[in-house]
Each structure stands twice: as C-alpha cells, then as structure tokens.
Structure 1
Amino acid sequence: MQLRNNISIADASPTENGTPGPFDGPQWPYQAPRSTYMMVAALMGTVVVAATFVNGLVIVVSVRYKKLRSPLNYILVNLAVADLLVTFFGSTISFSNNANGYFLLGKSVCEFEGFMVSLTGIVGLWSLAILAFERYIVICKPMGDFRFQQKHAVIGCTFTWVWSLIWTTPPLFGWSSYVPEGLRTSCGPNWYTGGTNNNSYVMMLFITCFVMPLSMIIFSYGNLLVTLRLVAAQQKESETTQRAEREVTRMVIAMVLAFLICWLPYATFAMVVAIDKDIVINPTLASMPSYFSKTATVYNPIIYVFMNKQFRNCMLTMMCCGRNPFATEEETSSTASSTAGRTEVVSVSSGAGTKVSPA
C-alpha cells in the first residue's frame, strides 16, 4: 500500500472497502497485525514510566538543592520539563491509542497532540543546542571573559519556547495540518499530502527546527574538541589532562550520536515523504521514527544530567536519606560546581600554557 493512500483518508469516515477511519475503530489488521500495536503500546508504556521517573527526579533534585541552580542547570531543567510534556501529551496518548488500535480520543485531540508533541519536542531540541553553545562560550572563550549568567539562561530557555511556538502554530491555522501518521495511533505534521502549502511548511520546519540546532551542536562541540585537543597536546606529561580530554571526547561523541540516532530518522522520513508522495512505505515502518524520537525523553536526562557529578551526588544524597554511599572524601567536601560532561580550560602562569581540568 502506498503511504500517500494510507494517510489520505486520515480525516475520513470508514472507506468504501470497509476499512475504518483512524478515529472510528481498530486499525488492525488493515494497517498492521494486532501484535504490532501491542508491541508499540508496550514500548510507549515503558517510555512513560521511565521518562516520568528520570525527568521528575531531575526537577525535584534541582528544586531541593540550591547549589544546583546554576545557569547551565536552568537549561537542563527546561529540557526535563519539555521531556515530561512530550511524555504526557505524546507517549501517554500513544500508549492508550496503540492498546486500543486507533486514535480513540477523536480528531480535535489528534490535532492538539500533534501540536503539543511538536512544540515540546522542538523545545527539547533547541535546549540541547543552547546547552552545546553555552559550553562552547564558557570553555573556548570566543567572547573573552564573558560569563554565562542566570539572565542568559533565562533568555535561552524563553527563546526555545517562543521559537518553537512560531513554527508549530501555523498548522493550526492552515499552513499544513496535524494528522494521524503511520499506524494512525499518533499525530504529527502532515508530511503526506502534496501541494505547495504542505511542502513549504515541511521545508521550513526541517531547516529551522532540525538543521539549525544540529548545526549549532556540531559547531559548538566541534570547536570544543579542537580546543581540548590543543590543550592536551601542550600537556602531554599530564595524565589528568589527557584523561579529561578523553572523557570529554567520549561525552561529546555520545551526545551528538544520541541526537542523530533519535532525530535523523524522523527528519529524513519527513523529507523523503514530502519530496516523493508516491513512495511505498509500510505503515509500521512509517510510525517507527516518530515513536523512536519519543524515547529521547528517557536518555536525554541520563546523558545530560545524570553524568553531572554534582547533580549525581545530590540525587544519591536525597535518595539515601542525606548520605551518598558512593561519594569519595574529596567529593563530599567539595562545593565546586560541576556540569554534565563539562571541562574547564583554566589559564595558569605565563609559560605554563593552559590546563584542562574536569569540573
């Protein structure tokens, strides 16, 4: 079955051949076997539980410990809030729909879900980009002694929401639309219907909400790695410097790969379908990029927050009733700020070069 024909009846009642519409009844076995819907429901159920726990924990720990209220952590909390909203408005509804085999809440909720998931998903993407840019500014110091402060973090968080609203509200007013996609149990932007109206929106969304944040991430982390390599080359005799450089390199690679693995399939699928409306794609395969992108709500906090030594210590202290059983003596007595995957580049006395130290 052609994907175009599969989606073109998204707003219709039962079709002429008796296939129920996406809001009328179970889509099995017309789109996929019932077992497929049950497996997707199990995946979404797991995501709901895990994402709610880890992102909720991020917010609770950040509120409880004042020393975590650094400018960087404002962005991390913004990311956690966005991930929680994706979980509530996206993964939870998808779980219920897949368990029932169709979008049982109706067309209006479908449009609202598509809007909210797009809005909060893009907020999360841009939060990652601003997080990368903050590290570039602090570590590579392209602006001299500029300090990333609370007001800058607030501006950055506000930007993610305003920018996302700019690009996710047009489908509500006629520039494209939000429709059931793939297995017809979740909704998203209309990549499927041809015409200048939809194609222009898909292209703009692809550029402003995928290419731009990805470019910022690659630029920031690329410059960060170059800077750390140069510093490490100057301090070949320092095992601490070499270890810090290796740790940050692994962290950066993990961050970029996680971003690409999560969002590249979805962006690629959208562009391919928008360009070639006659392409034949199995409904199950068409749904996978959307559902897979929702799993980012689980591993985002693991990569960007739980690898933050200071946050990890506060979390363990809270969960273990005031004592961190894994903290070393140095970690227990230290009050210095540390950030997820962050390494400080510190200038020392002239002639000694520059020192890399893990924060």
Structure 2
Amino acid sequence: MKNRQPLFHDDFHIPIPMDIDNISHYSPFLVPQDHLGGPAMFWAMTIFMFFVFFFGTIINSLTIICTIQYKKLRTHLNYILVNMAVANLIMATVGSSTTFISFYYRYFIFGPLICKIEGFVANIAGMVSLWSLAVVAIERWLVVCKPMANFTFKETHAIIGCVFTWFFASCSALPPMLGWSRYIPEGLQCSCAPDWYTVNNKYNNETFVVFLFGFCFAVPFTTILFCYSQLLFTIKSAAKAQADSASTQKAEREVTKMVVMMVAAFLVCFLPYAIFALWIMSNRGQQFDLRLATIPACFSKSATVYNPVIYVFMNKQFRACMMKLIFCGKSPFGDEDEASSSSQVTQVSSVGPEK
C-alpha cells in the first residue's frame, strides 16, 4: 500500500534502538500506527479517552455553572476549585477530545502544528490542576491548623492562589515552545506531550524532565502531603479531646476519608507518568514498548474526572446545588442534603474546614 511506505519526519524521529518494523520511520501524522499495537488496544484507549472527554466536560462545566448560578458557592475555597474546574475543562475539551479521535484513527490526524498546540494546552491545564490541588491543601492547612494565629484567608488570597497556579503552569508549558525540549507524539503516537523519551541533545530533554519531575511533581506532592498530614493530626487531636462528641468523631472520619482519597487519586493520576519518565531518562538507549508510555499519559488526563468527584461531589452543599441545577431548581433529595450540609458546616468548622 502506498501510504504504508516508510516515512520520516526529522522533528519526530525516535532515535532509540528499536528494530521492530523500523517503527520510527512511520510518521505519526500520516499513517496508522498499527505496528505499535493491535486493534483492541486502540479501541480500548478510544473508549477510555471518550469517557474522560465526555464526563470531564460535563462535570467541570456543571461545577462552573453552579458557582455562577448560586451565590452561596462563591466562597474563597471554591474560587480555587472553580479555577481547577476551568483547567480541567480545557484539558477535557482540547486534550482528551483530540486524543480519543486520534486513537480512533490510530494516528495523530491533526498534524504537527496541532500536536504542539495540544501538547502545550494539555500541559498548562494539567499543571494548573496539579498546582490547584497544592493551593487547596495550603488553604486547608492555614484555615484549620492556624500556623499563623492572626492570619485570615481572604478573597484576595484566593485570587492570588489562582494566579499563582497559572504562572507556575506557564513556567512548565512554555519552555518546549521556546526550544527547551519540544512537544511530540507520545506512546501510541495519538497524543502529544513534552519530549521525555527521545535521545536528542539539541533540545536538552534530560534537564527538562528533571525540571518537570522536581518542580511540577515533587514540590506540589510534598506540599500536599505535608499540609494534609498536619490537617489530619489537628483533626485527630480535636477528636481525641472531644471523645464524647459524636459530631466531632464523624467530622474526623469524613476528613480522614477525603484526605486519603485525594492523596490516592493524586498518586494514581501522576505517579506512573513521573516514574516512567524518570526511568526512560535514566535508561537512555534501552529498548521499551511505546504502549507502556500511553497508559500513564491517559491516567494523568483522567484527573479531569477524579478531581471534581472528590473535591466537589464530596462537598454536600455543592452537590445539593448541582442536583437543583440538573433537576431545574428542585433537588431529588428535598432539603435533607441542604440541612446535612448546614449541620456539617457547624460540625467541621470547630475542628476543620468549612464546607
């Protein structure tokens, strides 16, 4: 077949010694990448990424609309959650949509320019979401643990936190557009990301991977781990001091469950990607299956679904407003969820964050 002739694109050549079918000679922009995986693999990834695109778009859109619709949701903490929802929505509509379409056609059909744009947008949106998690953790630590007795978290601080996330996300997304690393197809060649697996000293890929791992994974993860460990310690101390209070014990259990879920989701979404990128950097020239690079990449994109479920749907007040929005002003749960939310505000505010 004419379109199966070996094609070479210097910008996207993978100079790793892989002899099977000369896979680096088949352009990911011109021909299906069937040499990298069977039909079942591409169909599975198509379905998974469509799920991420569909539900990520709906959940994050509802989060933004609810905050606009209901004034009581416009709290300082929710500013940061909405900031994360905006980033997740961008990731879902731009990153996940192009990815699931490309998986369907089995190659990146949109061309090199869109690959760079998609890689940039997915990178900056993902980093905003990631840093937003760290800002939320800092906000909870400041409000609940009160390390600075006279400090009050205000609207200005929330806005600064949102600006902070976009600034630092830009610091990680812009360099590949300016020559430090580059955006190329990754894994099964159906999505684009910074170049972390090719051997090319021209772009200094190795130093960029170290920068990404340290600045964009290790720092926010350490921040999240420190803040939530302090939060758990404070909540448990309050629960121990009020051992006879059922409401305090309930608040302690709920906060513990939420913290465990948040840290676990963070690790599931981003740890495989970080570990695989570091392994590739530490084993330059070693053969590896490009299919192994696809799963961590798609897991990181799935954070657009996990994060809203944890941060928004576990907030009873937010959930009640969302149900009212979906059911045209009347929640199917009646006033029970609203009352439960109000009760929880009283319970948790004495030992933990407001809902």
In the superposition, the TM-score normalised over structure 1's length comes to 0.88
Change (3 A) 1:90 1:157: same
RMSD: 2.6
The aligned counterpart of 1:325 is 332
* Aligned equivalents of 2:116, 2:298: Cα separation in 1: 17
The aligned counterpart of 1:23 is 29
The aligned counterpart of 1:222 is 229
Aligned partner letter, 2:115 = C
Alignment of 1:153-168 (within 5 A): 153-168=158-173
Task: Indicate the larger mover: 133-142 or 313-322.
Answer: 313-322
Residue pair 1:244, 1:358 contacting (<8 A) in 2 also: no
The aligned counterpart of 1:238 is 245
Give the paired residue count: 340
Residue pair 1:10, 1:22 contacting (<8 A) in 2 also: no
Residue pair 2:119, 2:194 contacting (<8 A) in 1 also: yes
Residue pair 1:10, 1:21 contacting (<8 A) in 2 also: no
The aligned counterpart of 2:69 is 64
The aligned counterpart of 2:149 is 144
Where do 5+ consecutive residues of structure 2 fail to align?
1-7
Change (3 A) 1:286 1:142: same
User: Among 188, 199, 209, which residue is 2:206 paired with?
Assistant: 199
User: Among 245, 250, 254, which residue is 2:257 paired with?
Assistant: 250
Residue pair 1:178, 1:187 contacting (<8 A) in 2 also: yes
Indicate the SS of the match to 1:179.
strand
Indicate the SS of the match to 2:193.
strand
Change (3 A) 1:216 1:238: same
Indicate the SS of the match to 1:180.
strand
Greater fraction of residues in helix: 2
| Deviation sequence 1:301-336 (CA, Å, 0-9, x none) | 110011111111111222223222314458359868
Aligned residues: percent identity? 44
Indicate the SS of the match to 1:305.
helix
* Aligned equivalents of 1:168, 1:329: Cα separation in 2: 44
- Are 1:40 and 2:41 counterparts? no
User: Among 127, 135, 138, which residue is 1:133 paired with?
Assistant: 138
Residue pair 1:241, 1:356 contacting (<8 A) in 2 also: no
User: Among 307, 310, 322, which residue is 1:315 paired with?
Assistant: 322
User: Among 115, 118, 127, which residue is 1:110 paired with?
Assistant: 115
Change (3 A) 1:317 1:244: same
Aligned partner letter, 1:175 = W
Change (3 A) 1:245 1:334: closer
User: Among 274, 278, 293, which residue is 2:281 paired with?
Assistant: 274
How far did 1:357 drift?
8.7
Aligned partner letter, 1:27 = Q
* Aligned equivalents of 1:9, 1:279: Cα separation in 2: 21
* Aligned equivalents of 1:99, 1:251: Cα separation in 2: 36
- Are 1:209 and 2:209 counterparts? no
The aligned counterpart of 2:12 is 11
* Aligned equivalents of 1:330, 1:185: Cα separation in 2: 43
* Aligned equivalents of 1:249, 1:17: Cα separation in 2: 51
Indicate the SS of the match to 1:322.
coil
* Aligned equivalents of 1:71, 1:357: Cα separation in 2: 12
How far did 1:87 drift?
0.8
Residue pair 2:181, 2:194 contacting (<8 A) in 1 also: yes
* Aligned equivalents of 1:183, 1:173: Cα separation in 2: 25
In the superposition, the TM-score normalised over structure 2's length comes to 0.89
Indicate the SS of the match to 1:219.
helix
Residue pair 1:132, 1:220 contacting (<8 A) in 2 also: yes
Where do 5+ consecutive residues of structure 1 fail to align?
1-6, 347-354
* Aligned equivalents of 1:263, 1:94: Cα separation in 2: 18
Change (3 A) 1:152 1:336: farther
